[in-house]
A and B are shown apart, each in its own frame.
Chain A
Amino acid sequence: MDKQKWEPKIVAFVCNWCTYTGADLAGTSRMKYPANTKMIRVMCSGSIDPVFILKAFERGADGVLISGCHPNDCHYNAGNFHARRRWDFFHELLDFIGIEKGRLQFSWISASEGKKFADVISKVTKDIKALGPFTDYQKMNSEFTAFFPEETAEDHEVLNKVEEIV
């Protein structure tokens, strides 16, 4: 892959009530940020399992962002407080095992912080770009490992075809 052309692939797991809505606001306000991040909407930051992050790395993500409501602003009162403890451990663990802290980032973005959302995405994109492709993790296994029994490597390759169409 041409290093010059390489663009990081970033996944954001965001809660439905604050960050997702904050991202909507960034859109409504026509703020600009890089297109590298795709969002997966969950109901609460408390419901994001750390294994999701590993799975994202397996599928080629170079970085992951977790974002939810500010403390005391959780739609479900306390989901984010539980999440905060969980991430503290997981982040320390990944760091200890040798995965740079910048690969997995966290933020609190409320429904009214469209600007902050755009800023955070820009910052994360910049950070991950600086860290470079996360081939360390992906390259450990060249084989395709299916998440589901019926999933095939070809399914996954379809996206490359799309690129040609575009």
Chain B
Amino acid sequence: MKDLREHTRELLEKGEIAAVIGYRQVSEMRTKPVIVTDPADAEHLVFNEYCLNNLAVYLTKARIKALCRTKDKTLKLAITAKPCDVHSIVALIQENQIHRKDIHIISFNCHGVVKDFGCEFNGDNLASKCITCETHKPLYFDKIFGEEKETPKASDQALARIQELESMTHKERFEFFKGEFDRCIKCYACRAVCPLCYCQRCITDKAIPRWIESSSHQRGNFSWNIVRAFHLSARCTGCGECERACPADIPLTLLNRRMAIEAKRSFSYVSGRSLETPTLVGSFNEKDSDELFM
């Protein structure tokens, strides 16, 4: 913790970075995102099992980008990112939203975070993405802190849920999702927290023509959730922020995870893992399966 604070203070003092996007502790088992621009504020920065937010979402915000632009040069932006958040950053770099040279990634050896604020850190309360996590060390970073620790063991209930759904009939699944989507109030919190939902104008806000039925009746909720999941397929890095933010507790990661499984199964692709691999969307292989086509 001391290292992290010293490191960022030094960077801010030297004037190499415009700001640090980080976490600050607000109570014992709760943190919140903070943007530090004053070196003196670096002492608030923390990193622990309660740093739930994926801060990559802030990298594309216009107001934060504006902090970096000065008359004569562009300053870097520092971000504290869990190894899984680095996947989002990789995806953002691949999608040209930020340039690698413009950011300073401070990452950590991570052994998981809790599923929600206020929970004790143990196997029962592990966030579901941490259960299957294979990157306890960040794939890309400029500075790394923290020691390697064992992740508590837990069972992959999300996958079990997907398998359970897949064994149902279409009708049953349709009814299941109808029930889940029924609670959607179109607040778009899922969109707001998603690092990859950086569009200046979301497709759902496009009114002429009306792409997605904007009222929150059943069919409108279907179209929004289908399109959201589709737009994130092969892009979503699985941070799970959408589901955490959803006030109606819609299991959005089920859809995201199912699409990620498809990307892995049919194209051996996992999003946000490598800056060198071309993105799955936007590339093709002549030998891709032709099974779908008559």
Contact = CB atoms under 8 A, between A and B. Distances in A.
Contacts, number: 128
B286 A71 contact: yes
A141 B213 contact: yes
Given A94-B226, A106-B294, A143-B217, A51 B212 contact: yes
Contact of A50 (B176, B217, B230, B259): B230
A123 B294 contact: yes
A128 B281 CA distance: 30
B171 A98 contact: yes
Interface in A50-86: 50-51, 54-55, 58, 71-72, 78, 81-82, 84-86
Contacts of A141: 213, 215, 217-220
A17 B218 CA distance: 38
A136 interface: yes
Interface string B164-176: 0110001111111
A140 interface: yes
B294 A105 contact: yes
A96 B173 contact: yes
A140 B233 contact: no
B213 A58 contact: yes
B160 interface: no
Determine the main DSSP class of B at the interface with A: helix
Given A82-B284, A106-B294, A147-B209, A88 B289 contact: yes
Contact of B218 (A82, A99, A140): A140
Nearest to A124: B294
B177 interface: yes
A107 B284 contact: no
A81 B227 contact: no
Contacts of B282: 82
A88 B266 contact: yes
Interface residues of A, number: 44
Contact of B284 (A84, A106, A123): A84
A92 B262 contact: yes
A152 interface: no
Contact of A99 (B172, B174, B281, B284): B174
Contact of A96 (B207, B234, B255, B284): B255
Interface in A90-106: 90-100, 105-106
Given A81-B285, A88-B289, A148-B208, 18 more contacts: A50-B230, A51-B211, A71-B290, A85-B288, A89-B233, A90-B233, A96-B166, A96-B258, A98-B176, A106-B293, A106-B294, A136-B174, A140-B217, A140-B219, A141-B218, A146-B210, A147-B209, A147-B210
29 contacts: A51-B211, A51-B227, A54-B222, A54-B227, A58-B219, A71-B286, A81-B286, A84-B284, A85-B284, A85-B288, A88-B288, A88-B289, A88-B292, A89-B234, A92-B262, A93-B233, A96-B258, A97-B174, A98-B171, A98-B175, A107-B293, A107-B294, A137-B222, A140-B218, A140-B222, A141-B218, A145-B215, A146-B210, A148-B209
Interface of B: 165-166, 170-178, 203, 207-213, 215, 217-220, 222-223, 226-227, 229-230, 233-234, 255, 258-259, 262-263, 266-267, 280-282, 284-286, 288-290, 292-294
